[in-house]
Amino acid sequence: MRHLLLFTLLVTMLFSCKQKEEATNKFLPVDKNATKETVGLYNRLFQLMDKGIMVGHQDDLAYGHSWYKEDGRSDVKDATGDYPAVIGWELGHVEIGAEFNLDSVYFQDMKRYIRETYDRGGITTASWHGNNIVTGNTAWDCAQDSVVRTILPNGVNHEKYLVWLDRVAGFFLDLKDKDGNLIPVVFRMYHEHTGAWFWWGSKQCTPAEYKQLWKMTVEYLRDKKNVHNLLYAYSPSETENEAAYLERYPGDEYVDIVGYDSYVNGKSAEDIQRYKEAMDRNLKIVTDYAAKANKIPVIGETGMESLPDSTYFTGIVYPLITQYKIAWVLFWRNAWEADKPNHYYMPFEGHSAANDLKEFTERPQIFMNECIK
Ligand code: BMA
């Protein structure tokens, strides 16, 4: 009898452990060979999303308003006492083998910041303003409508572009934790493509070409370069409706996270009203689609430059985002460059919106790094 009881207990334990594992890793990313940590991150995002919304900030650890490279510093931490839960990085110029990115962040430093974030339980996402391969100019050189075509298989720049992707792959494959395991990252590539300001934009390539570019990139990184620590995020600029949102969508087989980018352009009441409407509309588009397709919805980029409205966080952002279930909202960078004194999207210590950000981050539904540890 005792043996039977013991046996039943063991079977129950085994069964419940299995159940737990299944429950935790219910969702599989587009990379079926994704590392355990990457699958873990994907599932963690689904779980976190049920509880609250994470705060993200671009380049948070590398520099801030009027400072550059001070270990442990963060404008957000100075203003609120904690690091953001999500930190965004920019890979632009990694493709040409540069030592530092287009905003002067050394890739070696970036890798260290990503490790620090991971050790703190935080989440990393990366954008990529890669150069225009035809002209050698920046991502914003969008005068031609044929750059993407030259990159696709059989295009004149295809082989050269694969070398660029090799370097992107090399960066991701060099992100290791202290035990040598790859650190998972959300790769938000070819973003704002419904606008026409990058060489991969809506006037620069056809929907079919854009989709091909996306698929080619995923397949090359995943299947040829064996990069298995990525979740792929699709993030157009704000759109009018689901059809427009999906016009260039490469398909559920190629996307893990669905987001959008939207900013307050200006500071008048009309500008703010327009932003509120665009945010609300796009939040609905991404959350509805994410629910249908089992994806993670996010706000890929947002903000109000210089924060002329000192109640932006509690007065504008909070009431909008808390009506929806999203994983995070990422605010754009606080430029360190002397010639960009007004280019910041998070308050720093002493800024008139600093208390508002603090109050926002202290609300139970809003998650900073400590909340997700
Ligand atoms: C833009 C601006 C630029 C920056 C670029 C890439 O929105 O912040 O100054 O170089 O993003 O990070």
Q: What is the DSSP string of 174-210?
A: T-B-TTSPBPPEEEE-S-STTSSSSTTSTTTS-HHHH
Beta carbon of 192 within 6 Å of any ligand 1 atom:
no
What pLDDT was estimated at residue 4?
54
Please tell me the distance between residue 81's alpha carbon and the centre of ligand 1 in angstroms. Answer: 26
- Work out which ligand 1 atom sits closest to the CA atom of 337: 9
Mutate to test the pocket of ligand 1, among 59, 87, 103 (most ligand atoms within 8 A of CB): 103
- Please indicate whether residue 247 is annotated as part of the active site: no
Beta carbon of 102 within 6 Å of any ligand 1 atom:
yes
Indicate which residue of 90, 95, 192, 209 is catalytic: 192
What pLDDT was estimated at residue 144?
96
267 Cβ neighbours under 8 A, 6+ residues apart: 304, 308, 309
> Tokens representing 306?
């210089």
Mutate to test the pocket of ligand 1, among 58, 102, 138 (most ligand atoms within 8 A of CB): 102
Please tell me the distance between residue 92's alpha carbon and the centre of ligand 1 in angstroms. Answer: 10
| CB 31, CB 274: distance < 8 Å | no
Angle at 73 between CA 305 and CA 170, to 5 degrees: 85
Please tell me the distance between residue 224's alpha carbon and the centre of ligand 1 in angstroms. Answer: 30
Specify the residue with its C-alpha closest to ligand 1, atom 7. Answer: 332
pLDDT, tens only, 110-159: 999 999 999 999 999 999 999 999 999 999 999 999 999 999 999 999 99
What pLDDT was estimated at residue 18?
35
What pLDDT was estimated at residue 274?
98
- Work out which ligand 1 atom sits closest to the CA atom of 340: 9
Residue 327 has pLDDT above 60, yes or no: yes
What pLDDT was estimated at residue 213?
99
Backbone angles phi, psi at 280, to 5 degrees: -60, -45
| CB 56, CB 89: distance < 8 Å | no
What is the DSSP-derived secondary structure letter of residue 256? S
Beta carbon of 333 within 6 Å of any ligand 1 atom:
yes
What pLDDT was estimated at residue 11?
46
Q: Which long-range contacts (CB under 8 A, 24 or more apart) does 149-154 make?
A: 149/205, 149/209, 151/213, 151/216, 152/209, 152/212, 152/213, 152/216, 153/216
Residue 16 has pLDDT above 60, yes or no: no
**Which has more confidence, 210 or 16?**
210
Please tell me the distance between residue 205's alpha carbon and the centre of ligand 1 in angstroms. Answer: 22
Place of tokens 């390539």: 205
What pLDDT was estimated at residue 2?
57
pLDDT, tens only, 211-235: 999 999 999 999 999 999 999 999 9
- Work out which ligand 1 atom sits closest to the CA atom of 102: 10
- Please indicate whether residue 192 is annotated as part of the active site: yes
Beta carbon of 188 within 6 Å of any ligand 1 atom:
no
Specify the residue with its C-alpha closest to ligand 1, atom 3. Answer: 103
Please tell me the distance between residue 336's alpha carbon and the centre of ligand 1 in angstroms. Answer: 11
Which secondary-structure segment (H or E) carries 231? strand 230-234
- Work out which ligand 1 atom sits closest to the CA atom of 103: 10
Please tell me the distance between residue 102's alpha carbon and the centre of ligand 1 in angstroms. Answer: 8
What pLDDT was estimated at residue 208?
98
